[in-house]
Chain A
């Protein structure tokens, strides 16, 4: 509450200052010369801090993701400002897991002269808020959106998060191999952009792997009682249950499935990729298979540093959302330094040129569709922990 109030106050103060100078908020980022520096890469020096806005879901259904992202971003901003030459002014606002509030936050950032906007947390919000930034010519970097079509919204929209199209086929393929899947039941919530696009990729990958879908069951994002659906699923006697749902639904779904005596693996989309699953579902979470963009056990040096720094700062293990947020800042820093400019258009150009940057997610490139490319990992819950499936 306090943070957003201060940010708001700072925002309006900035707006006042700008109008006093006789220029409007929109042109400030383009006309102000102090965001352009000299040198390139590590030698780049930019006088003013580069303003970055982040719209995260700090409350509402996706709050648990948003909190991790906030920590990841703040940790990264702290680390980056220790480097010489370029510093960042990171402002985080809450979108309340609500597309309408997301739009408001985006409008605010555009007006306040943010050089780039990070977020929002959910694809559903992203679809509605991103056009604001696209129209105003402000680059957007998604750090957790996995639905298809996110970056198709415009040439200012980028993301570092792998899409469901990239992660799910790997998940299905490896799970099919590991468990010898022949028949599955698919469940998904059909009133959310993210879970629906996840379902489509699951259906396609299952077909490609030659796995038969016995039944497809739908529910609503707000549902919490899945017993009737799960009983149907159980009666079909599948080798596994494939689910595309958000964590809010995933936890009761998994708990109730185990309660009904369903012991087969449950294969989840990105929504399941959250340590809260083990914390709240307890033993029921055992045997849940999730594809992930981040391998927490990876021994690349960037990742090892990130793990220890995060643990020291927050006293807990980071999750994928924190890692992706951290990587997002790394990519932005790379783009800013490459062009040695904190201006909107320069960042947009350089984000498109990102290639083989070392991040906590591994070696990351951004392809011609403005989507990230790096290696994915398939995990299974064992003894209350995500471990790599093999």
Chain B
């Protein structure tokens, strides 16, 4: 039971990270590899807000969401928009976003040095619950709730709102969407902002969960995020949610039943298996793009 809680809490962070990743891919057909840098930056910014500005960790989260959104706008503006007309825009965007991510990490290193940063010890509430024999901290519960809420809100936004309809139209065919009077540039920018905001919240939550932020934390989760969206089906939002939780649980149960040294082997072995058995991913449909 305890392992289930552990797996769900780390898995929901993977999912939140991956869902931002997959959103841009699903709608715009671009892989934004600056996403992990946003993840790391948000963790450091969150810690700075709590330590220096004295915000509580709950208030820091919306602030980090906004910071993430701004970073998303910058990424779109700098790394993607100038290249969008080119025939190799997919690949060029991929490379330029890696470059931008690297610059972001370099800026973080300049500002915070290479040291590990932590939230002040007293900034966490130490409320704990007993749930069917498992110890759950208020923070773990909050991580799960916040992640799920954000993901549900995103799914609703894409499915039900005017903006969501525009997004889906752009995903289907950008040229046709433009003909229909949709401001494609604005929709693109909004998608990046949303995606990065989710990645940023995931970063701040991750830093809270383990109480440490390192420059390499984005790189560490990048592979896992990619694995999640591949398992879930590229571009599929529910796929990223299920994939993230599945990866978190797989890691935890690998420790429990196989042995701690085999954790990554089991987790990535599962990824391999999914690719062999169902190349389009759990929720992906062949050749039909889903948002």
Contacts and interface: CB of A to CB of B under 8 A. Distances in A.
B114 A60 contact: yes
A234 B116 CA distance: 27
B211 A252 contact: yes
Interface stretch (B2-10, B62-70, B153-161): B2-10
B260 A225 contact: no
A281 B124 CA distance: 11
A228 B7 contact: yes
B113 A228 contact: no
A229 B263 CA distance: 10
A252 B7 contact: no
Contacts of A27: none
Given A228-B3, A232-B256, A235-B2, 4 more contacts: A59-B113, A59-B115, A228-B6, A252-B211
B260 A229 contact: yes
A272 to B, nearest CB: 15
Given A190-B261, A251-B118, A280-B121, A222 B113 contact: no
B96 interface: no
Interface in B90-128: 113-116, 118, 121-122, 128
Interface extent on B, as a size class? 20 to 34
B131 interface: no
A308 interface: no
Nearest to A219: B260
Given A225-B10, A228-B6, A251-B212, A63 B115 contact: yes
Given A222-B220, A228-B7, A228-B251, A64 B260 contact: no
A58 B288 CA distance: 53
A260 B2 contact: yes
Nearest to A253: B210
B190 interface: no
A248 interface: yes
10 contacts: A61-B114, A63-B115, A190-B261, A229-B260, A231-B2, A231-B6, A232-B255, A248-B214, A255-B211, A280-B118
Closest 6 CB pairs of A and B: A282-B121, A224-B210, A227-B6, A228-B252, A228-B255, A59-B114
A219 B128 CA distance: 26
Contacts of A369: none
Contact of B212 (A60, A64, A252, A283): A252
B280 interface: no
B82 interface: no
A259 interface: yes
Query: From DSSP, what is the main secondary structure of chain B's interface residues?
Result: helix
B3 A225 contact: no
Nearest to A278: B121
A222 B261 contact: no
A96 interface: yes
Q: A interface, how many residues as a size bin?
A: 35 or more
B237 to A, nearest CB: 25
Contacts of B263: 228
A281 B214 CA distance: 17
B173 interface: no
A224 B212 CA distance: 7
B135 interface: yes
Contacts of B10: 225, 227
Interface string B1-38: 01100110110000000000000000000000000000
A218 interface: yes
A336 to B, nearest CB: 34
B252 A218 contact: no
B3 to A, nearest CB: 5
Contacts of B251: 228
Nearest to B252: A228
A222 B210 CA distance: 12
A365 B122 CA distance: 44
A282 B7 contact: no
